[in-house]
Amino acid sequence: MHKIFCLGEHNTEPIIISVESQVRRGLFMFEILGKAGKSVQESKGRVLSALKQIQKIPTLNKKITVLLSPADIQKEGTLFDLAIAISCNLSLIPNMSINLDLVSKSLFLGELDLLGNISLGHRTLSKNQVRVAVNQGVKYIFTGQDVHEKNTQTEIDSSDCTIVYVKSLTEVLSYLEMSEEELLKNVKLRVSPSLNDLTKHGSETQHYFNID
């Protein structure tokens, strides 16, 4: 069982959330544990549809359980979708060709549509969120495209963390088959702005999970 990492919020501060999933045989069931709010529970439909679109994964006769940890912290928002999808994909196809070392160094953040396309909607990454990720040893952040930004991939202080903007779940999975060297070569454009220049939207981007 592999841990996939994403970001949540606790007391208005970013926090790393780990996602684990388990698949068993039986009548179909999909449950998300770990104080998952309504918007997180709704990700089940988006994730299942996206997985079926890209992998034709059979989910009949499967009991899928997803755990979001720490389990005692409330989770809200749609940006857990990508991490949940990656975790479920690994559990449904355990022998798939994935660089698990790269996965363990990565954080996944994005909302899925039914076809597996990824976005951040009107949200953006904040300086604080990136700092939290870097402090926890994250080297790569795979995230959806902010609708306000151009379609580029951006490297933040290359010795610390690389942010890779992705359009689809298929694209993420293709990256995760690569070595770290191949990944960096395939990122089309990488620049190294300071964290102060990470977002144009300042304090408006600090709290995009809408947790009370």
Q: How far apart are the C-alpha atoms of 31 and 129, rounded to whole Å?
A: 27
Q: Band of the pLDDT at 146, cuts 50, 70, 90?
A: low
Q: Residues 97-103: what's their mean pLDDT?
A: 94
**What global pTM score does this model have?**
0.83
Beta-bridge mates of residue 75: 36
Query: pLDDT by residue (tens digit) across 19-77?
Result: 999 999 999 999 999 999 999 999 999 999 999 887 667 667 899 999 999 999 999 99
Are the C-beta atoms of 15 and 133 separated by less than 8 Å? Answer: no
Residue 157: both structure tokens together: 């202080």
Provide the b/e sequence for 10-46 (b: ≥16 CB within 10 Å): eeeebbbbbbbbebeeeeeebebebebbebbeebbeb
Tell the burial category of 144 from Cβ atoms under 10 Å away from its Cβ (0-12, 13-18, 19+). Answer: buried
Does the structure show a pLDDT above 80 at 140? yes
**CB neighbours of residue 51 within 10 Å:** 21
What is the model's pLDDT at position 102? 96
